[in-house]
Amino acid sequence: MKNSNLELSRAALARTALALALSLALSACGGGKAGDAPPVAQKAASQAEGERKEEGGLKLTPEEARSAGIKLETLAAQGFADAVTVTATIRPNQDRIARVAPRVEGRIVQVMASLGDNVKAGQVLAVLDSLVLGEAQSALQRAQSAQRVAQSDFKRAELLSADEIIPQRELLRARSALETAVADMRAAEDKLRLLGGVAAASGRAASTFPLTAPLAGTVVQKKATIGELGTASEPLFSVADLSTVWIEANLTEDKLARVQVGAPATVTVTAYPGERFAGRVTYVASMLDKDSRTTPARIEVPNKDRRLKPEMFASATIETGTTRAPALSVPSGAVTLLQGQPTVFVAEGGGYEPRAIDPGEKVGGRTVVKAGLKAGEQVVAEGAYALKARLLKSQIGEGH
């Protein structure tokens, strides 16, 4: 091997010397400008550089390696907690979402909340004008007026009965009329309350009523437009408390037996590379979907800073509570695609050599390596994409 390397080095030196000799000869003959290398010399230099790369991979100075963020890891077989990784979708917590619709049909006269607004419980979202509510207000006012008249008649009958001016039956009749009036007034109050209105303090019938948020949260859906008719069958707003979200996934039959309710899980999303959000499995369905042959599962994740958005795609890793047999693995960020082949960079011969691998499952941010590497080798754990960019750039340069 040493003799072979020595012969390659001698051949490279001979070619370089020949190129320099040709360059000097051409320069002496006026065949080029001062300082310009002729095409033959350029080609020889390029070939020598290619041989240097082939012998030790990409060469970086210590300063260049630090600038590229290169960090190495020595491969060793290790056991780690078994886990199931599935793709998932972020949904609002369905236990903390409210779809707000009016109890009675009404025309929207004012909209006070917009999509994305954070609202408090009881905050007014819109104001509606309802003919039915106006009629209920009028009915209550009539009932209140009849109750006041009946109350006055009963008091007068009491006084007259005490002075034995009227017979006892007149007092009983007045008491019965008062009780009927009170019952009618309470019925009118209940009807107005059930329709979502309150008794008008002005004494005049009011047909408008507020539509309020039943819980604190974020307005995630809004269909209210001034002038349109709001009905009980069509929610005008959806308010969701996004302090916790659900990560919904589908488990295939081979993974189902390994996932239990209460198991810890970590969630990653493309929007925040390198960050992990901790959660816990709160639900695994009891039935298999006959079409997809999967079982729905749910992970609940705290979302205090509201960075996880509903409908985002996510990757969830669920711990199974068991330990895998020791195996070689690399950080998942160390694996890049070169010409469609999963590849890692190995520190070898004073450089960084791309090495194709056969990857296995991804577990806890690491990728199992089934073939292509061996224990004791040093791989680039961080900075692989910087090396890939340098490699592609050098290949493009050689192509030109």
Express each pLDDT in 152-181 by its tens digit.
999 999 888 888 888 888 889 999 999 999
Do strands 81-92 and 313-323 pair parallel, antiparallel, or not at all (unpaired)? Answer: antiparallel
SS3 at position 279: strand
pLDDT at 45: 39
Please give the pLDDT value at position 176.
Answer: 93
Out of 114-123, 126-135, 287-296, 359-368, pick the least confident. 359-368
Q: Sign of torsion, CA 215 217 220 223?
A: positive
Query: Pairing mode, if any, of strands 264-268 and 313-323?
Result: antiparallel
How far is it, in rounded angstroms, from Cα 295 to Cα 290? 9
What is the mean predicted confidence (pLDDT) over 347-369? Answer: 86
- pLDDT score recorded for residue 163: 81
What does the pLDDT read at residue 321? 80
Backbone dihedral region of 274: left (phi > 0), alpha (psi from -120 to 50 degrees) or beta? left
| Residue 60 near residue 67, CB atoms below 8 Å | no
Instruction: Name the band, by pLDDT with cuts 50, 70 and 90, for residue 391.
Output: confident
In eight-state DSSP terms, residue 123 is -
For residues 28-35, average pLDDT: 39
pLDDT at 44 over 90: no
Structure-model confidence comparison of residues 177 and 365, the more confident one:
177
pLDDT of residue 245: 96
**CA Rg, the chain, in Å?**
40
250 vs 393, residue with greater confidence: 250
Work out the burial of residue 372: count CB atoms within 10 Å of its CB; fewer than 13 is exposed, 13-18 middle, 19 or more buried.
middle
Task: Report residue 203's pLDDT band, with 50, 70 and 90 as the boundaries.
Answer: low
* Strand, coil or helix: 300: strand
Q: What is the mean pLDDT of residues 190-198?
A: 82
**Mean predicted lDDT score pLDDT of the chain:** 82
Residues 6+ apart with CB under 8 A from 168: 161
The confidence score (pLDDT) of residue 83 equals: 82
Res 316: pLDDT: 92
At 348, which helix (H) or strand (E)? strand 341-348
**Which of 103, 159, 97, 163 lies closest to 133, judged by CA?**
103
Q: What's the confidence (pLDDT) of residue 186?
A: 92
More confident residue, 197 or 129: 129
Contact of 95 with 300, CB cutoff 8 Å: no
Res 3: pLDDT: 40
- List of residues 6+ apart from 145 with CB closer than 8 A: none
Instruction: Report residue 59: phi and psi, to 5°.
Output: -100, 130
Most confident of 7-21, 119-133, 350-364, 382-396: 119-133
Return d(Cα 92, Cα 40) in angstroms, integer: 67
Confidence of residue 138 (pLDDT cuts 50, 70, 90): confident
Distances 189 to 6, 133, 175, 181 between C-alpha atoms, Å: 104, 12, 21, 12
- Reported as a single tens digit per residue, the pLDDT across 76-122 is 988 877 788 899 999 999 999 999 999 889 999 999 999 999 999 99
- Give the integer Cα–Cα distance in Å for 324 and 105: 61
Q: What is the pLDDT of residue 122?
A: 93
pTM score of the predicted model: 0.59
**Helix or strand holding residue 395 (H, E):** helix 384-399
Residues forming a β-bridge with 351:
348
CA atoms within 13 A on the CB side of 239: 21
* Cross-strand partners of 222: 237
Of residues 342 and 4, the one with the higher pLDDT is 342
Is the predicted pLDDT of residue 15 greater than 70, yes or no? Answer: no
What is the per-residue pLDDT across 260-294, written as a single tens digit (0 to 9) for each?
999 999 999 999 988 899 999 999 999 998 898 99
In the predicted model, what is the mean pLDDT of residues 300-328?
A: 90
Q: What percent of the chain has pLDDT over 70?
A: 83
Contact 265, 279 (CB under 8 A): yes
